[in-house]
A and B are shown apart, each in its own frame.
Chain A
């Protein structure tokens, strides 16, 4: 599923259908009649059509990258967290407002090829497909929602483990049915980091494949654990990104074998084994937006 179709080269002027609070986040729903279907893990570059600029520090200026959270023909959803001038402005959008979008871009999550239904009425066969463990942290659950939906359509076995700071943030977990929760303050679910339930899930699920997205320290913990246990993992990365289509060379992360890969072009979903240890500030909603914390 890593072969994706061409993205439209033209920016699309979209209309906001809704932008509702979801705990500490907002769920932005936009009408996108001409947008192609994104593969789970792909992202779009978003900027409001009005008042993009003139916020904190006279920003934003560049569009911001957001994973597609859910999609159906004509409509896309994005999970927003206010972490800086760009995401703040997008959070302020109200129905009828317009925004510019480019995409969908990037390398998506790899999921097995869809088998033909064995007979009428039966779900597609997923025999031989590794059970999936989805690991999300904070706003990083966004691409896991569309991935979880795709796996559910295939009737593929999937466990979702989601970590949040507190109960207010954990409200976003309703986007993934049946997800297991961890919160740092212990107010909901297992107290602590999501990487602890991950260790248990890996022990209980031989041959599992891990899909993760979240703050850099979480991704690094997942990467290191999966390397140690020889588990295949795909990480959806985030980096300061000016364009989203390989032009600026700004969004690089170090490769394990030397050199760099572009998060927008060879990612955002990257096989963990290709990556050097991840360092850097905990990127949250859009790395160009968030200051180091």
Chain B
């Protein structure tokens, strides 16, 4: 195993965590039983995105397989803040690793309310803010515009007395500028990349007809090994500009990929889609990283 890693005041057993929304602890407990805790693959656990109000998620189909990747339009299904605090948080609090709660809001008011709630719960070690959300007033993704991101964080950051990680969107003109804005706004770390916006058309779609998206939610988010070079470039661009730690993710499948993320400047690496293929992928990567000879 690797030496402990220090991240935002947390001491983690190794540098591999999960990407938000790519691992469901309650489902995995039901399916795998006690083996989940015994072999828990991540050194910290990031919850799926929690919103103020419950969301059912998008209509199916929600998935399409792409060349070496996965296009999803899950739609952030969650029980809402109240449901999360009542039902999910107690189940996550018993995990053997620190808990990072991921939240998303469409305005500073909503984000402030979510941060207040997380601040009040000692089970939550840190918060990750998903800024891949359209602003309810402007319609622009909060995280895609540095000025907007800076002002939303300036208004809300003081309401959280614990570490705040900003999960950047890769669908921005200048991701490093967004990362700097997050740092200016008081983020303790940034994480990237979220999924890249993509589209699959229904088979049989042809020119001259209105395009028919295949996924129930319309467009989707692309993940998996297909996006790894993009992720690596964005992680390097961000890490070279900010002072705060970076969580790097995007298509990591093995220790070599994870090592590249760390070499590009990340402090932690997150595994997402690879956990779908192998629930112990992150643990395997952490073990391989720990035994790797540098260079």
A: residues with CB less than 8 A from B are 5-11, 47, 53, 57-63, 100, 102, 105, 239-243, 245-254, 258-260, 262, 265, 280, 288, 291-292
Contacts and interface: CB of A to CB of B under 8 A. Distances in A.
Given A247-B28, A280-B60, 17 more contacts: A5-B33, A6-B32, A7-B31, A9-B32, A9-B280, A53-B68, A60-B65, A242-B63, A242-B72, A245-B27, A245-B28, A248-B72, A258-B56, A260-B57, A288-B63, A288-B65, A291-B203
B126 to A, nearest CB: 22
Contacts of A280: 60-61
Given A10-B280, A243-B275, A59 B67 contact: yes
Contact of A260 (B64, B68, B77): B77
Interface stretch (B34-42, B117-125, B233-241): B34-42
B24 interface: yes
Contact of A248 (B30, B56, B204, B276): B276
Nearest to B60: A252
Given A62-B276, A250-B74, A252-B57, A241 B31 contact: no
Contacts of B36: 9
A7 to B, nearest CB: 6
A61 B251 CA distance: 12
A248 B61 contact: no
5 contacts: A11-B280, A246-B30, A260-B60, A265-B31, A288-B65
B57 A265 contact: no
A291 B62 CA distance: 14
A247 B22 contact: yes
What does DSSP make chain A's interface, helix, strand, loop or mixed? loop
Contacts of B39: 9-10
B32 A249 contact: no
A61 B32 contact: no
Contacts of B31: 6-7, 105, 245-246, 265
A239 B77 CA distance: 18
B137 interface: no
Contacts, number: 127
Contact of A247 (B57, B204, B275, B280): B275
Nearest to B69: A61
Nearest to A249: B74
B105 interface: no
Given A10-B280, A260-B56, A248 B65 contact: no
Contact of A265 (B30, B63, B203, B279): B30
Interface residues of B, number: 44
What does DSSP make chain B's interface, helix, strand, loop or mixed? loop
A5 B33 CA distance: 8
A242 B69 CA distance: 11
Nearest to B78: A249
B200 to A, nearest CB: 11
Interface of B: 21-24, 26-28, 30-36, 39, 56-57, 59-70, 72, 74, 77, 202-204, 224-225, 273, 275-280
> Which among A247, A259, A262 has the highest number of chain B CB atoms within 10 Å?
A247
Contacts of B28: 9, 245-247
B21 to A, nearest CB: 8
Contact of B63 (A246, A250, A292): A250
A248 B57 contact: no
Nearest to B40: A9
Nearest to B23: A247
> Which among B24, B63, B68 has the highest number of chain A CB atoms within 10 Å?
B63
Contacts of A292: 202-204
Nearest to A45: B277
B35 A242 contact: no
B67 A58 contact: yes
Contacts of B280: 9-11
Contacts of A100: 278
A242 B30 contact: no
A250 B22 CA distance: 11
Contacts of A249: 21, 24, 57, 62, 74, 77
Contact of B24 (A62, A63, A246): A246
A45 B225 CA distance: 19
A156 B85 CA distance: 47
A247 B279 contact: yes
B279 A62 contact: no
Q: What are the nearest 9 A-B pairs in CB distance?
A: A246-B27, A6-B33, A58-B67, A250-B63, A243-B276, A9-B32, A240-B63, A242-B276, A9-B35
A288 B215 CA distance: 12
A61 B62 contact: no
A102 B32 CA distance: 11
